[in-house]
Chain A
């Protein structure tokens, strides 16, 4: 098992945001996480690269107990990439340097190697000639594709996507989704929170439905959309269908 969560709880002060998460994820699985606002989807993702720290429970990634007191967080983050709703590109750096910064400084790549790889990734996300622009010269869809290239430059084997297309205009959603679709071929384990149904329906193999800090359905997208088991899931689906 590549990712294993055992009875994970997280409290924000008095607020109990995750209430006993148990989850096993296999290498290469592509998982879509759905659920109403405030159900803890982002919090769950952010626990997997320790942007948030659970208050109770165990998380194993690649056999490492990542909540162990001597565990080196940067070691985990080297192979767990994250894509944010707001892109979070570095505005003072060019597109190229956004992508090469971490490979050079964290993985120790030489400039030429990092840049060569960055150019290849930009080609992959369809932005081959934008390397020397600054982020503020790009459209939202282009920014998110740069963010994807930046994460891929670390050669992650796990990619966390938190509403990667929610801040985008409809026509840009498609270009970003196309790029995400190509990642399947790379055997990257992906967990994505996305209200974009095309991700759940066309890309994901597995679907988690969360409610009030718990995973209340763990199933396939097909089964979930055609035959939801819980009343909460039915209510959720009714809502998004209108």
Chain B
């Protein structure tokens, strides 16, 4: 069995997983919304730029992005990033790419009739987005956004590779001293599983509450 100290040591790493996830979700949502706007803008170079951004961050494995940025920032840019800084940067930018696509899917899924009704009422492009399209799109994609949060949380274990002391790295430290592989990694696995189940449950309740308030899908 693991000692209290060992358990505490391992679980204390969880705060870094939570930190990376929360920051990445917040910054990623803001940046993702911006990229989505660029992507849908009528200025072709901006739209192209956004498309390239998304394709890069979705096309390269997150693990490689992490290692590359953490180790490459210094020789390339003279930037000495700490493991935490590199993790926050990469996770936020990566999440932005996915979130922008989620938003884009939400916006393009809004029925053509909604756009036309807004047009026929003489709303400007901005007013149409602000009052009609975006509010409906956000309601539609909120389950996908929660899903993205869960994915980020699971993937946050990757930061152990660039020596950020998250739950996984704390576990590796512990195991190198006590060799209790089953107990240590079992604890990590169980912790992630419980967290993800909890998040999923919260998401389900949120979705139900949203659906009850008013149906976006009919009419």
Residues of A participating in the B interface, judged by any CB pair closer than 8 Å: 49, 51, 74-78, 80-82, 84, 86-92, 101-102, 105-106, 134-136, 143, 150-151, 154
Which residues from chain B contact A154 at a C-beta distance below 8 Å? 121-122
Which residues from chain A contact B119 at a C-beta distance below 8 Å? 49, 51, 77
B131 touches A105 (CB 8 A): yes
Which residues from chain B contact A51 at a C-beta distance below 8 Å? 116, 119-120
Interface string of B61-98 (1 = CB under 8 A from A): 00000000000000000000000000000000000000
A106 touches B122 (CB 8 A): yes
- What number of B residues sit within 8 Å (CB to CB) of A? 24
Q: Give the residue name and chain of the A residue nearest to B213 (CB).
A: A134
Decide if B191 is an interface residue (CB 8 Å cutoff).
no
A78 touches B214 (CB 8 A): no
- Residue of B113, B122, B132 near A74 (CB, 8 A) is B122
Q: Give the residue name and chain of the B residue nearest to A84 (CB).
A: B113
Q: List 9 A-B contacts (CB under 8 A).
A: A77-B121, A81-B120, A88-B116, A91-B136, A91-B217, A92-B139, A101-B131, A136-B215, A154-B122
Which residues from chain B contact A75 at a C-beta distance below 8 Å? 122
Which residues from chain B contact A81 at a C-beta distance below 8 Å? 120-121
Given contacts A84-B116, A86-B113, A105-B131, contact A92 B216 (CB under 8 A): yes
Q: How distant is B100 from chain A, measured CB to nearest CB, in Å?
A: 22
Given contacts A88-B116, A90-B132, A92-B135, contact A106 B121 (CB under 8 A): yes
Interface string of B106-147 (1 = CB under 8 A from A): 000001011011111111100100011001100100000000
The docked-state distance in angstroms from the alpha carbon of A87 to that of B120 is: 12
Which residues from chain B contact A49 at a C-beta distance below 8 Å? 119-120
The docked-state distance in angstroms from the alpha carbon of A35 to that of B118 is: 28
Identify which of residues 17-41 in chain B touch chain A, using a CB-to-CB cut-off of 8 Å.
Answer: none
Q: Give the residue name and chain of the A residue nearest to B116 (CB).
A: A51
- Residue of A78, A82, A143, A150 near B219 (CB, 8 A) is A143
Extra A-B contacts (14), CB below 8 Å, given A51-B120, A151-B121: A49-B119, A77-B121, A78-B122, A80-B120, A81-B120, A82-B117, A82-B120, A84-B117, A90-B117, A90-B132, A91-B215, A91-B219, A106-B122, A134-B214
